[in-house]
Each structure stands twice: as structure tokens, then as C-alpha cells.
Chain A
Amino acid sequence: MNILMGLFHILVFPGLLFVCIIGLLLAGVDRKVLARMQKRVGPPLIQPFYDFFKLMGKETIVPHAANKTAFLAAPVIGFASLVVTMLFIPVFGYSAFSGSGDLIVILYLLTIPAVALIVGGSASGSPYAGIGISREMVTMMSYEFPLIMVLLAVAKKAGGAKLLFSLTGIVAWQQSNGSGIIHVALIPAALALLLIIPAEVGTQPFDVAEAETEICEGPLIEYSGAPLAMFKLNTAMKMFVMTSLFTCLFFGGIDTGIVALNALILVVICIVLTILCMTLIHAVTARLKIEHLFKFYWTFVAGLALCSLILVWIGL
């Protein structure tokens, strides 16, 4: 029974199937709402599903200069780590895996998709991918620092005297003390995380690594067919994983008691967050230069996160 439940967790509910479908749906919402903002009709809501299945049906070309194993394994590694990340993030009161150090595990797991992109890009042997991966590394360095500070602030707030690194613990604390977002000290942290999400996912103003108009999608340049489909799926899944991490950290207080209803609320909150922090910013801004991105994250976003950290530490 336990094995069956474990398999159900991994393959269906918080795991594989759930993340893939909701992730692609979020990507569809993003494209549709973006089109409406630009006064276009826009693609159908399930366009990312069409893209995914089409790419699955295309020929897979491995370039002559590429390292075949690393080139083909990279998207699968990124995919697997995203599924595992989702297993650790509780859907309000319901989580598949839980432990005392979830938050730290997630911090490591979240870097793996970006590292997979770097490995895949460098294995492809294209000079454009070389520029792409160097930019991807800088992007990673930019957002990791404020992300760690945001997580520390939440852990300190929830844990009181000692830091609480368990996500289930954080959600339980929110259910007795109100959602994270209503605590004044955590509002700057929430804003910072909202700005980190687009960089982590790699959408418009922060997509310097995959800029398709200047370096032809950077690390993805040599990919075609099924591996490209996996990378596109990874991007869509990252949208869902990051927004549900935000929900878990700052809206954890909502709990109806019914798992299906909770999942539905999670999806609705994720859609709102996607529109707010990805589509809206995409529609109104142009792509940054890599040095501006770095400066933005290490001054403005890190400043917000630090502000929150100080407020929490002085006990507000």
C-alpha cells in the first residue's frame, strides 16, 4: 500500500503528470494573456501542448561536434530534478515527502535545471551556446543570492529562535499564525521572490541567456526534436514549481481540508502569480543587458530581501 501510494505521489498527484499538465497550462495562459495585452487574438490555451507533441514527432539531430551522452542526458536530468522538487513542495497541508531540511534540499534541486541547461549547451559545441551558458551562469549567480536570503527570512520568521527549514513546518506555522504575506516583515521578501521567479524561469526582461533575437536561444541552439521538447517542458514546469513555492511560503495559511479543492486553489493562485510576475513584466519591458541584470539583482532585489531579513531578525 505504501509503495502504491509512493508511486501515485511520484507519477500522478504532486509529481510527474500534475506538474507537466499544469506547467504547460501556465505557459499557455502566459502566451494567451501576453497576446491579449498586445491586442492580438493569440494562440489557443493548449498551444504549449501542441508545441510539445510536435517537437516529440520531429527528427533528433545530434551535431557532429557534440558530446552525445551529455547532450541527450541534460534535459532528462533537469526534468527529473523538477519533478522531485515538486514532491517536496506541500500543496497546503498535503505533501508527498517531508523532512527537517526541505528548504535546503529545494535550494539545491532548483539549481539543477539551470546546471542541466549549462551542461547541455556546453556539450553541443556551438559558439552561440558558449555565450549562452556564460550568461546563464551569471544569471544563476544573480538570483541565487537574494533567493537564499528570502528563504532564510521565512525560515527565521516561522522558526522563531532557531531557523525552521521544514516546508511542512512553515505551512503548519502559517496555518496557526496567518499566511506569510500578512506579516509586515515578510512583504519585502515576497516582492523579492516575485522578481526572482522570472529570472529563474527565464522570461522576457531576464532571458539574456536564451535571447532568441541575438544569440538564437543560446544553450538550446543545437537542440531539435525530443530533447528540445524536454527543455521547453522544463521551462513550463519551472513556472509552476516556482509559483507554487511562492504559494507555499507566503499563502500557506489557506487550507480547506479537501485535497482536490486545495490543489484547485493552488492552480488558481499560480495562474494569478504567473500573469503578475511573468506576463505583465514581459509585456511592458525589453530585455536587459547581462551586467544590468546582475546589478539589478544584487542591489534592488537583494536589498529587498535583506530588508526583510533585518525586520525579521529584530522581531517585527
Chain B
Amino acid sequence: MFKKMIADSMSKSPWIYHVNTGSCNGCDIELVAVLTPRYDAERFGFKLAGTPRHADIVVVSGPITSQSKERLLRTLEQVPEPRCIVTLGSCPQSGNVFKGSYSVEAPIEKFVHVDVAIAGCTPKPEAVIEGLYKAAMILKEKREAMKK
């Protein structure tokens, strides 16, 4: 019974941890907008966690500058399993307008596996909510796979 409750709860209370890797702050504001009264992501149980240890979903925004790459990887290592990694905006996927810069390590797929990618510059709050909700569903699958 407890196992079933744990599996069911996994998708219903995803806590978000947000890492900014040199983003222009546009995506960060949209992520905060998702939690405000107008869009209210808390109705799905989303909550902004203060530390990677409490997180289920790690939201990465920004084009991964060379300085922040190592910090990003260290942060991701500290998140307990099962976890999801979501990229916010076009920057982490392609580098966007920063592509080709000597100080940008753009595609995040080079270092870590990405579960959900939310595209757009910046993505609309509706798109952010949909992406986060998909990540929450993936969390449940990951939990089931972890048990086997």
C-alpha cells in the first residue's frame, strides 16, 4: 500500500530547483511568473525549493558559460534520485544568440541527459507549466524504474 502511495505521490509534489547558468534573466522571470497567482503552479503541487537536496526537478536556464559549467554539474550531482532535468528557453539547447562565443558551452546535452526541453525565447508561462507537468510525469516513471 505504501509503495503505491509513494508512486502516486511522486508526480503530485514536484519541487523545483532553479539554476541560472548565465541567462539574461528573461526565462527566470517567466519561471517566477508561473508561481504567481495568475498561473499558480502550486495547484499541481509545484514548489520552489531553496536547495538542490530538496529538489525533484532541476530547471536550467542560460547558455552554460564556461565559468558556470562546473558549478552546474556539481549542483546536479547533489540532487537525490529520482530527478528530472528541464531546460528553460532556447539557450541551454542551442546557445541561442550566444552561439559561437568562446565562453559558452551551449548544448547542455554534451554533459547531462535532459528529460524535458522547453523551447522559446522566452517560453510562455503556459509552455513552462506544460513542460514542468511532463517532467513530473517522468518522475513517476523514473521512480517505477528505480524499484525494478
Contacts and interface: CB of A to CB of B under 8 A. Distances in A.
Given A50-B13, A51-B13, A216 B51 contact: yes
B81 A54 contact: no
Given A40-B42, A43-B45, A224 B54 contact: yes
Contacts of A52: 9
Contacts of A213: 50
B53 interface: yes
A8 interface: no
Contact of B53 (A35, A50, A221): A221
A259 B77 CA distance: 51
B45 A224 contact: no
**Interface magnitude class on chain B:** 20 to 34
A44 to B, nearest CB: 8
Contacts of B82: 57-59
B110 interface: no
Given A40-B42, A217-B54, A54 B80 contact: no
Interface in A45-68: 47, 49-54, 56-61
Q: Is the interface of A mostly helix, strand, loop or mixed?
A: loop
Contact of B13 (A47, A60, A222): A47
Given A40-B40, A42-B43, A225 B80 contact: yes
A228 interface: yes
Nearest to A222: B53
Interface in A199-249: 212-213, 216-217, 220-225, 228
A47 B9 CA distance: 9
A285 to B, nearest CB: 18
B10 interface: yes
B29 interface: no
**Which of B8, B42, B44 has the most CB atoms of chain A within a 10 A radius of its CB?**
B42
Contacts of A42: 40, 42-43
Interface in A106-142: none
Contacts of A223: 53-54
22 contacts: A35-B42, A35-B43, A39-B37, A40-B40, A41-B42, A42-B40, A47-B12, A49-B9, A50-B12, A53-B9, A54-B12, A57-B9, A58-B56, A59-B80, A59-B81, A61-B78, A212-B49, A217-B50, A222-B53, A223-B53, A225-B80, A228-B53
